[in-house]
Structure formats: C-alpha cells, structure tokens
A and B are shown apart, each in its own frame.
Chain A
C-alpha cells in the first residue's frame, strides 16, 4: 500500500454517456439493494404479530409457564437519537463531498471524519440496543420477531460498518496524499452509498419502530 494511485484511467477513455463507469455501477448496485432490503422488510412485516412467544416489539408479554413479564422491547427514545445521528451524518457527508469539490483540504478531512464518527456512533447505539435486547431475553433464536428483527437491522448495521470502513479509507487517503477535486468522484460514490444506507434506515425506523 505504498503507492496510492491517483484518479486514473478514466479521463482519457471514451465513454458513451460522458458519465463515470463507477457511478453508473453504483446506481445499479443501489437499485439492486432496493430488492435486497425490500425482501428483508417484507419478511419482517409478514412475520409481524406471528411470534408464538414473546418478547414482542410493541406490547408487554407474560410468559405463561414462568409468570415472568417482559415489557414492550423497542426503545423509541434511544432509537430516535440514533436515527437523528444517522440523519446528521448524511449532512456531514454532503459537506465532505462539497469540500473535496472545492479543493478544501481542511474541511474535507473534518467532514469525512465527522461522517465516519456519526456512523460509528450509530453502530454504538445499535450495539447497545442489541445487547440490551439480549439481556431482556430476545435473541435471533427466541421467536420470529427476534429472527426477522435482528437480521434486518443487522444487515443494515453491516452496511453502515462497510460505509464507515470506506469513509476511513478515504480519510486515510486524504491524509496520505490529499483528496483533490479530481478525486471528488471517489467521495461521490461513497456518499451515494452512505445516503442510501440512510434512506433504508428512514424506512426501517418508520416501518419497524414507529408503526405498531
């Protein structure tokens, strides 16, 4: 990893549309992801209310054999906070991209770092949420709700993790040799991915957390 290549190859190659290959590919990828998350969300909604045993997302449950009572498990205040953090990370991300386009080395680093940090904070919230659910007696093996909830939000979290790694890589390159306006496309790709992960969360927050 000694030599980090500069923006290479594409400037002098003919393209039919004048658009960058990678940008077309990432939009196709995002389109494909719509079906991926669509299937996960469908499964969650189909299985909603079909769990044989609790805990349940929106109502309390008493185990008939032990008499133990479990409260409604979703923590709206905490998730609202993490939703807010993720929304703000999208703002930081557009600002990072705008800074790179302007050639502003200082603010590109600041906003990239802020985005990565906000992403990491969101993941922290999710780790907290998952562990507290496990303590309250909900694992992916407990019931249908557990399986579909953990896998849907877990896959979203995995996407956020990949995005944070991507952001850190860009930040690393920025420190190593500086991101120039010619590199804006690289940041743009990351930004498109990042915003998409954000809009998926917008859907999840409403469909899974708020609608009862």
Chain B
C-alpha cells in the first residue's frame, strides 16, 4: 500500500521522473532471454515431475514452489516491467500479493493439509 510510505511520492513526483522511468524499458534482448529462461524453467519443472524418485523425495514440493515463484517474479519484474516502473506500482501489487499469500498459507494451516492440531 502506498500509504505505508507517505513521503515516497517525492520519488515520482514530477513528470520528468515518470518519463525517465518509461525510458528505462528493457530491450528486445532482455525479452528474449526472459522467454528462454521461462521456457527452460518450465521444462525443468515438467521433467522432474517424471522422475518418480524425486517426486517421492521431500525436496519435490519445495523445488517446484521455488521454481514457479521464480517464474512468477521474472514475469512480473520484466514483462510487467515492475522492476523499471514507478515504485508506487510495486506497492500496489506487492502488498495485496503478500496478503493473498498469507491468506492461502494461514487457511492451509487452519484446516488444509498442513493443519496444526494440538
């Protein structure tokens, strides 16, 4: 929430700054590399799905979660150009995302598969 940083609007207060942010857009080359990384990570994800011993191991779920979180972050940072854009957008996205993730995790703790029962 932008509200967390009452003074932060000074960083994008003027037209000049906003335009400067526009100009720092990633290039063709970045886009291609990002696409390649996304492709490779997806291949790895599907590949490990077909290794029964790995699927049975404790590492399977954490590895998948980390890989998909990485893909998620890469798309958001580069394709949605959050890395280059005004900080305000970052706040508008990250704060709700954190609440959303917290909701999922706490619901799973409350009565999902990882429920804590005393």
Contact = CB atoms under 8 A, between A and B. Distances in A.
Contacts, number: 136
B114 to A, nearest CB: 9
Contacts of B84: none
A24 B72 contact: no
Interface of B: 9, 12-19, 25, 28, 31-32, 34-35, 38-39, 42, 45-46, 49, 55, 60-61, 64-65, 67-68, 71-72, 75-76, 79-80, 86, 88-89, 92-93, 95-97, 99-101, 103-104, 107-108, 111-113
Given A18-B18, A211-B64, 15 more contacts: A17-B9, A17-B13, A18-B16, A42-B112, A45-B113, A46-B111, A48-B113, A76-B46, A93-B79, A94-B31, A198-B79, A199-B75, A202-B75, A205-B68, A211-B60
**Interface residues of A, dominant DSSP:** helix
Given A17-B9, A19-B88, A24-B88, A87 B108 contact: no
Contacts of A203: 68, 72
Interface string A176-211: 000000000000000110011011001101110011
Contacts of A168: none
**Interface residues of B, dominant DSSP:** helix
11 contacts: A18-B17, A35-B96, A42-B107, A45-B104, A45-B112, A48-B112, A88-B35, A90-B79, A195-B76, A203-B72, A211-B60
